[in-house]
Amino acid sequence: MTLLDIDQLTFGYRQQPALLADISLRLADGDMLGLLGPNGAGKTTLVSLITGLLKPGHGSITLNGKQVALGDRRIALVPQEYAFYPRLSGRENLTFFAGVQGLKGNTAKQAVDRVLAQCALTDTQHQRAARYSGGLKRRLNFAIAILTHPQLLILDEPTANVDPQTRKLLLDIVRELHQEGVGIIYTSHLLGEVENLCNQVALLHGGRLVLHGSMDELLRDAQQSVSLKPTQTPSAELVSRFNACQQADHWWRFELPAGTTVAGLLSTLEQAGLHYTHIRYGTQALEDIYLALTSDTHPASAAS
Ligand SMILES: Nc1ncnc2c1ncn2[C@@H]1O[C@H](COP(=O)(O)OP(=O)(O)OP(=O)(O)O)[C@@H](O)[C@H]1O
């Protein structure tokens, strides 16, 4: 069943009239979509369109067949910016936002207690949010969004600048919610995180969706190659023989010639004195695909 249907969406700001052009994207029940794109590609803008904060110039966005609208309780957002009152405590913030979302009395109290425990905020619930560390602020931002049970949860870089413990805590909660049937859209620049978490991926670049599909299919290596992290640069002879090319993070990709097995290739490399610390076969890294598709982006020219 289709959960979210974005159909031929077009949107621009006055300064950038063609920021998003002809975006069509479909999410099925049970999908967890990684939404990627360089700085300024329009991810947060697309999120704002899905939550009804912005209105599309053309096209439509429906959730379970019904147009989305501002204040749509079926959608919850963990925004990139902190969205709570710094002068209130964690608990006071949650109680306030529970009220905003229509929860009252004991139901509100139970929801607040639940998310405090889920986000490991119980011990610090009475501290002013302004005094929270960065990790606690991220957890409070997150806790506010999951006070109710949305059909679609959108997380806009929820793990930016958090330590590994808080990252694991937040990602475990995202997985739990996903298992409970909540659809997830997850924007992040941490490609390893998206690769491990999401079953669908979409890449925004130059105003368009340049990639959208299943993560497994995307990462499946159709070209029959082996990627290695060698301890030294491969010789020119090996590079030319196996059509090897360097990839991100010191990985090298070697093509498997017809009739050669992986064991055969590795043995040839070892005989030629090439040693390695890591090996990858049958799958590509999301980062390599991302960098190839966005290679015309110059970091200095991208908006932040
Ligand atoms: N309210 C606004 N008014 C005018 N322009 C805006 C507004 N919000 C964002 N923009 C511009 O639209 C473009 C896309 O911004 P957006 O925040 O959607 O990108 P992003 O992909 O989320 O970037 P990042 O990865 O840096 O968070 C940027 O050039 C930004 O400056």
Average pLDDT across the chain, whole number: 92
Residue 294 Cβ < 6 Å to ligand 1: no
Whether the predicted pLDDT of 150 surpasses 70: yes
Q: 145: CA distance to ligand 1 center in Å?
A: 22
Q: Would residue 188 be called left, alpha or beta, if left means φ above 0 and alpha means ψ between -120 and 50 degrees?
A: beta
Beta-sheet pairing, 183-187 with 32-36: parallel
If you count them, how many residues does the chain have?
304
Report angle CA 161, 167, 168 to the nearest 5 degrees: 165
Q: For residue 194, give Cα distances in angstroms to 89, 128, 152, 181, 221.
A: 32, 32, 17, 19, 18
* pLDDT higher than 60, residue 69: yes
Q: What does 203-233 look like in DSSP terms, one character per residue?
A: EEETTEEEEEEEHHHHHB-TT-EEEEEESSP
205 lines ligand 1 (CB under 6 A): no
AA identity, residue 270: E
pLDDT, tens only, 243-294: 999 988 889 999 998 888 999 999 999 999 999 999 988 888 898 889 889 9
pLDDT for residue 299: 60
Whether residue 222 has pLDDT greater than 80: no
Predicted TM-score (pTM) of the model is 0.86
Are 170 and 162 spatial neighbours (Cβ–Cβ below 8 Å)? yes
Pairing of strands 245-246, 252-255: antiparallel
What does the pLDDT average to over 151-161?
92
Q: Does the pLDDT of residue 147 top 80, yes or no?
A: yes
Best residue among 9, 19, 47 to mutate for probing ligand 1, ranked by most atoms within 8 Å of CB: 19
Percent of the chain topping pLDDT 90: 79
Residue 161 above 90 pLDDT? no
Best mutation site among 9, 23, 35, 43 for ligand 1 pocket (most ligand atoms within 8 Å of CB): 43
pLDDT at 224 over 90: no
Best CA proximity match to 41, nearest among 215, 188, 185? 188
Domains recognised in the chain with CATH numbers: 2-218 (3.40.50.300), 221-282 (no CATH)
